Structure 1
Amino acid sequence: MIRKDKKTFKDGTVKTQIRVTEGYRPYPNSSPKQRTVKSFGYLEDQTDLEAFWNEVNACNNSLKKKKDPTGRTPVAEMMYSDHNRLLNYGYKFPESVYRLLGIDSFINDYQKRSGFRGKYSLNEVFRYLVMDRILYPSSKREAAARLLNYYGLRSEFELPDIYRALDHFDCFFYDLQQYLNGKVTELTGRSLEYSFYDVTNYYTEKDFADPDEVYTDRRGRQTEGPALAQKGVSKEHQLTPIIQMGLFLDGNGIPVCMDVFRGNMSDSDTLKENLDGFKKEYGIRRTVVVADKGMNCSHNIDLLCSQGDGYVFSQVLKGTKGKRYREELFDPEGWHASESGDYRWKLITEEYTGHEIRFEEQDGEHTEKKKAVRRMRKVLLYWSKADAQMAAKKREEKLKRAERSTKNNAYGIMHGKDRYLKEETVLKETGEILEREQVAKVSVVDLEKAEKDALYDGYFAIITSEMDFDAAKIRSVYHGLWRIEESFRIMKSDLDARPIYVNTREHIRAHFLICFTALVIVRMIQHSMGERRLSAERIASCLRAANCLIEQGGYVRLLDVGGRIRYQEIPDKKTGKLVPSLKFSPEDQLAEDYRQIQETFGTDFYYAYAKQEIFKRFFSEIGLKR
């Protein structure tokens, strides 16, 4: 039916709004209600009333003729119509976690406090970018092109609004992380007795490092210094400028906080930058930081011990740093072995000289003061047969490549600064430069070095300040570090956090905040799944497959969530664990994963057709089991 509603504006103007509506019942035996099928704007704003009313009447007549409850339209009307557009509703599951964490309330409060005057909602932009990052990770420009691809998601903003919003996201870069920590602690009972820390880097699409800039540091001071994108040692062997990110995780593998640093900063220096804010802002009295050998430097150890914290770090055994452990390493006394003989370990106590570090503030600057002290720590030396075999196999491959390079120089390609180095051979006695015809340079394989490296095959060391830890406890705590490596993989691969396309410091930090929030949501879903948890890739795959069509008559047609054949799992002969085989299973992998997700969120909705009211009620019931 056609409705005419009078609307009075603030200036006293009265206009007539024209809508085509239809009646419906929200549920059986309920009172009838009306919903808008299409709004045609205000009658007084129309320039051609005859054409306007023809359009309104045509819409109303087509609605009267519509009697198919499934909402099917003739073939000639289907292409390029709103009723034929595929809409994703799978995002509703992570969106429910977004709401559970109260992120919408946090951003709306910020918007009110900051006096934001934009015509768009910061929360809508942030929520959209987080959901799109989980399902279809890509650039901000590509994300904006998908604004119409989600069922029921408000998206009253454009690409320029997204870039403007990134500046505001940077303003609550640290505050939102603290807020999320409080919510996650409330929901999961998070304990930060152990905090796992590591650093990785993300490459950009720039050719050159950014120039120095003026920015606001963590203490709110205006600082002039190097930009974030700098040339450094890329862990993915990229030659473009990179950006470092340090990440803290809790024992459940759920992110606690993160920060970004310039690409040429040493990994070990990032812990110093992160630790002070991590403890003060999160109200942590004492924590044991677990990290790999990249964080293991004397300054970090002194800093942790001076603050009353502990550490569990891996330790190199080769070179000058590992020299002090060689005697114990190759001494046959004191070693313990497993029943199979595949694992051996030795636990020793070591006294070492450290420094007590304190900071004195002068003229707003913090000056570091040191005092030498003696400390004790435990060192776990262990050997693994599987790791020894792997190391030997890798070295054998390197020796083969080295041998081939001596013959045809195929593996002697120079990179970077080496291209511009010049080498001359002289007589030591006189310093005379020899002519090229007088000398011959040859490359040989260094077998002696290979033999020395073979002595360390399968050996590892872990050092800890926790004197009450035994060998099993040290290994168990350190083993939890694999979760942070998995989180980095999720960030880089599943959330596609790199390459980084944005340029300014504010936009870069906002980009990482979006990725961090998406990672928290994915980890919360996995945590709720328990031992049956799905990988981030499988979660995103089945959520992307949850699509629907809006059909006339107020119906929603849900498409099948499936289409990927599952492989049968059989017990591994060595470990007994179930592993995928080459045989097909009669079950569908996506369908099974989607059932598990619905179970995790406490829902059970598998209808192919549903009224929009019932479908919306299904969304309101979605929530993580706690």
Structure 2
Amino acid sequence: PRKFKCSGIFLMFPIYVMLSLCYNSIYIFLEDDMIRKDKKTFKDGSVKTQIRVTEGYRPYPNASPKQRTVKSFGYLEDQDDPEAFWKEVNACNDSLKHKRDLRIEIPVSEMMYSENNRLLNYGYKFPESVYRILGIDTFFERYQKTSGFRGKYSLNEIFRYLVMDRILYPASKREAASRLLNYYGLNSEFDLPDIYRALDRFDLVFYDLQRFISERVGDGFGRDLRYSFYDVTNYYTEKDFADPDEKYLDRSGNLVNGPALGQKGVSKEHRLTPIVQMGLFMDGNGVPVCMDVFRGNMSDSDTLKENLDGFKKEYGIERTVVVADKGMNCSHNIDLLCSQGDGYVFSQILKGTKGKRYRKELFTPEGWQEAADGSYRWKLITEEYRGNDISFEIQNGQKVEKKNTVKRMRKVLLYWSKADAEMAEKKREEKLKKAEKSTKNNAYRIIHGKDRYIKEETVLKETGEILDEKQTIKVSTVDQEKAQKDALYDGYFAIITSELDYDAEKIRKVYHGLWRIEESFRIMKSDFNARPIYLNKREHIRSHFLICFVSLVILRLIQNGMGQDRLSVERIAEALRRANCLLERGGYVRLLDVGGKIQYEERLDRKSGKMVPGLKFSSEDQVALDYRRIQETFGTNFYYAYAKQEDFKRFLKEMELSKRA
């Protein structure tokens, strides 16, 4: 932000007191900006010149002047074209040299709780510009005109507000409505009942809006649908019991009677309350394509079957390779994909019945290849297996599935990781310690992973021999034999694929792209507070996830626009929350400092070879740097502390997201 010093009016104290009877009139003059050249000596003895554009300011009246960095341009010796470099530095300095005289009138009777003193957030304008690029406002305006909607509120304004608020201040719809007046230039001519009514309408465009956004992402930013990453997770609700059956519109628009969404199932967070499942498709660029919501007691593998057919038809995909974890790996999903001409890359269980067929290859030393440092080894095999060719017929108005047994081929990648093996060993040792304590102390009898290694034996109290049930007791012991069997699989993994032309490196690379969808789930659960779900109606729950989905798409596009040095969603949201302003008299806007968190110096981590935060403070503010990074991504450079509303609105209107992917 622009820095300033106060004029000599404070030295004219008697006159100042007289004027203050009506208004405190303060004239603010901006200090001259300047280019600083600082020599810095490095550990190797080399000396470089750091170039910065700075500006002077006084933190408070009569304080000594200080300087603050507006922009750092790096080291002069590192520049390939010094002439172009200095041209850029001088242009930045010249743009900040124009002095502006502002006259701010402050009534002495101004109260703390007043409209003029309300903090307004303008950071939401950055994601809102992506909202406009995606044409979501056009979508709702068109829907509102053609659907016979008669509400007095705007569906687009409510949806846009809920998306922006979900990105910056995720909370319940009730709490979101309480912040209606806290955004600069955002229309808020609606209330909480209007929001709940609008949620019913959002559910009616649940699939249409997702398709519309996907098309706009493809046209404006590009899609990579050669691979379709799919996963499912669940979200717990604030309910004690499952919801009763209800009537609702299915994907085809038919009214059906079936189970409600909130059902008790296998919670990924080990919750006992009803849960709701969400399945998400993501493209190769890490941008979500579409999602759907399922009842909580539906198995993970069944959600793919429910989603796949609509995903391909509605998004015009001829062939795709679905990448998913072992939760989606079942024979029916594999048969369905292969019958449609699609491919798959799934992780495979090695323990138990499903992994029995690979044990011989797993523990046979022949055929393994090893990395030079011994941290990784792999074996690639091709196997034949029996599957079913699935087709569908309409009988008596019902869609009937038909199966024909066929033989197919696939590749199996078996690999071992030293780091994963060491981690598995540590986890098992921890479980064994807890299991040992559990056999001696009932306080540890709560069911946890340790119970995997506990077994019960029936022995005679006196001699340990089994005679009669009345004379025996059950004794818990640690199952060391099972622990030893599990240790054989430490660090081993398997990936199966239908793509016979893939080598070992490509199989692993494609599968490891799945981390992005897992990160997306973490963002929705943590950064967006998508759970717990406070809503009750099916339509409201689905609209809630639709809002979270659109928020995720917008932030993913912003991250992709940043390139390789992208910021996390948490840091983007924090910087946008700190972008606040005050409306001053005379048509001016006062932009407050975007900062508040000291950055730590980075150091080189010897193990990973990456730069990581150290323990020492740097001279920079992390939030300020993040905000500058966001401005660069949107092609803007606006750092004045005071601006006319016309100039400020022009800055907000002209920002445009970079189209990098």
Interval containing the TM-score (normalised by the shorter chain): 0.7 to 0.9
State the secondary structure of the residue aligned to 2:643: strand
What is the CA–CA distance in structure 2 between the aligned matches of 1:199 and 1:280, rounded to whole Å? 20
Aligned to 1:238: 271
C-alpha deviations, 1:224-264, integer Å up to 9, x for none? 11000000111111111000000000011100000000000
TM-score, length of structure 1 as denominator length: 0.86
Aligned to 1:201: 234
Aligned to 2:579: 546
Aligned to 2:223: 190
Q: 1:126 to 1:382 in 2, by over 3 A?
A: same
Aligned partners of 1:542 and 1:561 also within 8 Å: yes
Residue 106, structure 1, aligned to residue 107, structure 2: no
Aligned partners of 1:70 and 1:555 also within 8 Å: no
Residue 615, structure 1, aligned to residue 648, structure 2: yes
2:505 to 472, 476, 481: 472
Aligned to 1:443: 476
Aligned partners of 2:458 and 2:475 also within 8 Å: no
What is the CA–CA distance in structure 1 between the aligned matches of 2:535 and 2:109, rounded to whole Å? 43
Aligned to 1:561: 594
Q: 1:72 to 1:411 in 2, by over 3 A?
A: farther
Residue 261, structure 1, aligned to residue 286, structure 2: no
Aligned partners of 1:425 and 1:434 also within 8 Å: no
Task: Give the residue type in structure 2 aligned to 1:540.
Answer: A
1:578 to 596, 606, 611: 611
What is the CA–CA distance in structure 1 between the aligned matches of 2:23 and 2:269, rounded to whole Å? 61
State the secondary structure of the residue aligned to 1:304: helix
Task: Give the residue type in structure 2 aligned to 1:343.
Answer: Y
1:154 to 187, 190, 193: 187
The correspondence of residues 167-316 of structure 1 with structure 2, limited to 5 A, is: 167-316=200-349
Aligned to 1:463: 496
Query: Cα distance, 1:547 vs. partner?
Result: 0.2
Aligned partners of 1:66 and 1:553 also within 8 Å: no
Query: Cα distance, 1:76 vs. partner?
Result: 3.1
1:78 to 99, 105, 111: 111
Unaligned runs of 5+ residues in structure 1 are 1-61
TM-score, length of structure 2 as denominator length: 0.82
Query: Cα distance, 1:529 vs. partner?
Result: 0.5
Aligned partners of 1:425 and 1:433 also within 8 Å: no
What is the CA–CA distance in structure 2 between the aligned matches of 1:132 and 1:520, rounded to whole Å? 15
Aligned to 1:385: 418
State the secondary structure of the residue aligned to 2:617: strand
Tell me the matched-pair count: 554
What is the CA–CA distance in structure 2 between the aligned matches of 1:380 and 1:553, rounded to whole Å? 69
Aligned to 2:518: 485
State the secondary structure of the residue aligned to 1:151: coil
C-alpha deviations, 1:296-338, integer Å up to 9, x for none? 0000000000000000000000000000000000000000000
Aligned to 1:47: none
Aligned partners of 2:459 and 2:473 also within 8 Å: no
Aligned to 2:367: 334
State the secondary structure of the residue aligned to 2:650: helix
Aligned partners of 2:234 and 2:275 also within 8 Å: yes
Query: Cα distance, 1:292 vs. partner?
Result: 0.3
State the secondary structure of the residue aligned to 1:383: strand
Query: Cα distance, 1:558 vs. partner?
Result: 0.3
Task: Give the residue type in structure 2 aligned to 1:466.
Answer: E
C-alpha deviations, 1:358-405, integer Å up to 9, x for none? 111223321111110000000000000000000000000000000000
What is the CA–CA distance in structure 2 between the aligned matches of 1:296 and 1:320, rounded to whole Å? 14
Aligned to 2:70: none
1:163 to 174, 196, 218: 196
Q: 1:70 to 1:250 in 2, by over 3 A?
A: farther
Task: Give the residue type in structure 1 aligned to 2:267.
Answer: S
Aligned to 2:390: 357
Query: Cα distance, 1:433 vs. partner?
Result: 11
Aligned to 2:98: none
RMSD across aligned C-alpha pairs, in angstroms? 2.0
State the secondary structure of the residue aligned to 2:156: helix
Q: 1:414 to 1:454 in 2, by over 3 A?
A: closer
The correspondence of residues 87-98 of structure 1 with structure 2, limited to 5 A, is: 87-98=120-131
Aligned partners of 1:70 and 1:551 also within 8 Å: no
Aligned to 1:322: 355
Aligned partners of 2:265 and 2:275 also within 8 Å: yes
State the secondary structure of the residue aligned to 2:551: helix
Query: Cα distance, 1:72 vs. partner?
Result: 4.4
State the secondary structure of the residue aligned to 1:410: helix
Unaligned runs of 5+ residues in structure 2 are 1-20, 28-101, 461-465
Task: Give the residue type in structure 2 aligned to 1:309.
Answer: D
Query: Cα distance, 1:434 vs. partner?
Result: 5.3
State the secondary structure of the residue aligned to 2:411: strand
State the secondary structure of the residue aligned to 1:442: strand
2:556 to 508, 523, 526: 523
State the secondary structure of the residue aligned to 2:562: helix
What is the CA–CA distance in structure 2 between the aligned matches of 1:265 and 1:454, rounded to whole Å? 32
Aligned partners of 2:129 and 2:656 also within 8 Å: yes
Aligned partners of 1:70 and 1:609 also within 8 Å: no
What is the CA–CA distance in structure 2 between the aligned matches of 1:221 and 1:425, rounded to whole Å? 58
Aligned partners of 2:389 and 2:406 also within 8 Å: yes
Query: Cα distance, 1:65 vs. partner?
Result: 11
2:620 to 569, 581, 587: 587
What is the CA–CA distance in structure 1 between the aligned matches of 2:537 and 2:182, rounded to whole Å? 29
Aligned partners of 1:230 and 1:262 also within 8 Å: yes
State the secondary structure of the residue aligned to 1:108: helix
